[in-house]
Structure 1
């Protein structure tokens, strides 16, 4: 009986030791590195605006305008059916900002 109590205590001690090691591992990562990893994951998420655009496309309330850049890249821009040129410009800006955030490229674009 004494031996069993000792063994149980030993197992508990082992678990505590493992937990302490995990805490040390978590503390080992600098905050800036953790923040970079978090921002990368966040940038890959689908935004509410993108979901709403896809829903509007499905219901025929929006259209996809394919804008061809000078380098040959085609950007599929979603705008509502009644969009103005200003709305299209804003949609292009949002598309480019989101793309840059996801790819980790240029932080600021001079429009």
Structure 2
């Protein structure tokens, strides 16, 4: 135990952080439950994945025109508003990981597009997604709103 404290005190904060991250990456990559998660995972993503495995949350795929699908995890009792916040959070993480420095106006996005599930528009933010029939591994897509004249 004394040797461990001596080694820890001789290393800088950055070196300890790097060692900790590499050990966590190794542990996560060898765990069957967490192996599909990215190496720069955040605490929220680990908790979400565990909630999915325990049946407390569901995975929803959001398809965008020519872009890859987004995998979003929300609680089973989530509202449409909660889903929209989860999409925004996931997309900002996606942009960080890919290195893009873009500011997205989600107010504009939700004013311009609706979420569509099998022809049903998810338009009431206070309504639960279960009321629309959205379940585990459902695929939603963005659909441009029509202008009302």
Interval containing the TM-score (normalised by the shorter chain): 0.5 to 0.7
1:69 pairs with 2:97: no
Deviations 1:32-61 (A, max 9, x none): xxxxxx9xx9xx521010000001001000
TM-score by length of 1: 0.58
1:99 pairs with 2:94: yes
For 1:100 and 1:87, how far apart are their aligned partners in 2?
A: 20
Deviation at 1:100, TM superposition (A): 0.6
Structure 1 gap ranges (5+): 1-37
Conserved 8 A contact 1:64-1:77 = yes
The number of residue pairs the alignment matches comes to 70
Pick 1 or 2: higher relative contact order, CA cutoff 8 A, min separation 6: 2
Once the two structures are superposed, the pairs formed by residues 1-111 of structure 1 within 5 Å of their partners are: 45-111=40-106
Conserved 8 A contact 1:64-1:76 = yes
Off by >6 Å, runs of 4+ in structure 1: none
Q: Mark the structure with the bigger radius of gyration.
A: 1
TM-score by length of 2: 0.44
More helix by share: 1
